[in-house]
A and B are shown apart, each in its own frame.
Chain A
């Protein structure tokens, strides 16, 4: 029973991992930018939700109306910067890392390093859950999972079915050639950067629903989010989702059967194994890259 519950909870929390990882994966695969500043956007999104919800007393989910457009603009601005600088993949990682350090420090200066969390009065979601017999589904993870499904399905359809999506995949393959066929690389990448920023807002809000915030948390995401990106295959929307679930289930089950202390050990060993056996990702079907 424990294992069944752990599997289900793990799968659901995998939705949050996927939500965090998807933007990183897409910018990496399509725009060739390893955007560590994405973690900063998630962080700021989470703090904004907390701030708006606590000071205005509005439902934290409604703050998305503010954070999503804001993060869209921030994401697009970041992408504009990366376009302007015309960086190699690796240098984009370094530049965005610099930006991440700055973001975290600014977050720190604004909201202090103290643990911040929304009180039970403004955040009814933190402790709510649905139960089916002995099995329980926490509402926060259901929201995360639901949003992840929407983002993944939307992203998948857009990339596969629309002109913009095909154009983006063309950019991923060769931006010069794509340009020759009339694809406006700049505008599309701005759009994509914006959308990726919006997913950061979603991830941030969901994270703040069930967690206490402290600026340094952003670094703690590195391990698991990169694991999801790599396992899912860089630029693979559906693969990232599947990898998120896999990572969630794996660490959940190991924690219950063995011990939470072993979970990172098993998880990262599994990642090394996966990198060795399938370096392009476990779920690569051969889309963007």
Chain B
């Protein structure tokens, strides 16, 4: 019995080994009529899928528009997007497949910082350029041909708190006390605590500016019961609540505070899911957050008809895909930028030679619809001077309020 199964196994192994030479012979050969294939993964299922979907819709719209306008270098562009299931281990595997097996011409980053870091290692091994949407923590992104589509400058951990405090300092009654609520997630905690040996963050900057930190709470990303956090904030009753959290953290905290009959005077949320906050109605009015772009009328007017068209089309597609929040904002903008970085470089070099693409971006930068001309300096990990703004919920909508020259409406102060 055992011998039989061994023989069977041996034959199977032999077949596999001899067969391995064959297969995947085609692909890779690029005649001029063949489409240019762009490969990437996105988290279409799993923990990051909520945002992954936004990037998918934005990317599809971009490719559609691009092909409608004649494609790239006269060739159609085809986007091969795979689902990494929000699993980092899958990301490196899939990028390896896109590059070495499917032999795609170009790649684009996945969504979420851990995934991007995994993809970056593969891109580096194969020398592909990697425009990426959403990893903002500059020192982590060490590959010189990685190009961020969303930049908070080289030190986001000090830029974000400083921008927030600057904005609030412009008010008649700047905050004197602050409560900092930090999610222990790699994508948020650095804004409170700094990164690596650089300990600058909201906590240290507040102290430095003479603002008293009356509550400093770190909570795990798996938190389900928000009442204890809300209780602490209520009792400290600060002028400002900073929530360096993600997703629906801010919603949960606001709601838990409301259940205690408490409303924060002013609150800032780092990377909240935009839709659920608006669904809170009056409760979230005045909430602050960071933004790269909001389709506010004055801003769209400044950018021109094309931007309006893109954002409107996106919303239609998002609605058709059953997304609950359909506005073209930061994440979609990052996606658009990434595509423009990629295609801009191809246009500038007239080909898909990765080395040339990388050099061209370093030398000439690229033009984007929503963030203007971007320049990439390898010394600051290619993070371009940030255009990030602060947005605020005003009358049930997100509006850019800071800095003043980019604002669509003035910053509203704390509640009475």
Contacts and interface: CB of A to CB of B under 8 A. Distances in A.
Touch test A–B (CB under 8 Å): yes
Nearest to A247: B225
Nearest to A110: B322
Contact of A115 (B52, B273, B283): B273
Contacts of A126: 255, 258
B324 A116 contact: yes
Interface string B257-278: 0111100000000000101100
A42 B256 CA distance: 22
A5 B228 CA distance: 8
Contacts of B52: 113
Contacts of B259: 127-129, 136, 138-140
29 contacts: A2-B231, A6-B231, A9-B228, A10-B227, A112-B49, A112-B322, A113-B52, A114-B53, A114-B323, A115-B247, A115-B248, A115-B324, A117-B251, A119-B281, A120-B280, A120-B283, A127-B255, A127-B258, A136-B260, A141-B227, A214-B50, A220-B222, A220-B224, A224-B224, A251-B228, A255-B219, A256-B228, A260-B220, A264-B222
A186 interface: no
A103 interface: no
A10 to B, nearest CB: 7
A113 B46 contact: yes
Given A212-B252, A259-B217, A138 B323 contact: no
Interface residues of B, number: 46
B279 A136 contact: no
Given A139-B259, A220-B224, A251-B225, 19 more contacts: A2-B231, A112-B321, A112-B322, A113-B49, A114-B273, A115-B247, A115-B248, A117-B279, A127-B255, A136-B259, A136-B260, A138-B256, A210-B255, A212-B248, A212-B273, A255-B219, A260-B218, A260-B223, A263-B228
A201 interface: no
B45 interface: yes
B404 interface: no
A112 B53 contact: yes
A113 B50 contact: yes
Contacts of B229: 255, 260
Contacts of A114: 49-50, 53, 273, 275, 323-325
A111 B45 CA distance: 12
Contacts of A118: 279
Interface of A: 1-2, 5-6, 9-10, 13, 105, 108, 111-121, 126-129, 131, 136, 138-141, 210-212, 214, 216, 220, 223-224, 248, 251-253, 255-256, 259-261, 263-264
Contact of A9 (B227, B255, B280, B324): B227
Nearest 8 Cβ contacts at the A-B interface = A113-B49, A255-B228, A138-B259, A260-B219, A120-B281, A9-B227, A127-B258, A212-B248
Interface string B291-328: 00000000000000000000000000000011111000
Contact of B231 (A13, A256, A259): A256
A253 B225 CA distance: 11
A104 B110 CA distance: 23
B50 A259 contact: no
A86 to B, nearest CB: 29
A216 B47 contact: yes
Given A1-B235, A119-B281, A252 B227 contact: yes
A280 B57 CA distance: 52
Contacts of A248: 225
Contacts of B352: none
B237 interface: no
A170 B256 CA distance: 44
B204 interface: no
B184 interface: yes
B375 interface: no
A212 B248 CA distance: 7
B232 interface: yes
A47 to B, nearest CB: 12
A138 B228 CA distance: 13
Contacts of B275: 114-115
Among B47, B49, B53, B227, chain A packs the most CB atoms within 10 A around the CB of: B227
Interface string B200-232: 000000000000000001111011110111011
A259 B46 CA distance: 28
Contact of A260 (B44, B217, B281, B282): B217
A136 B228 CA distance: 12
Nearest to B54: A114
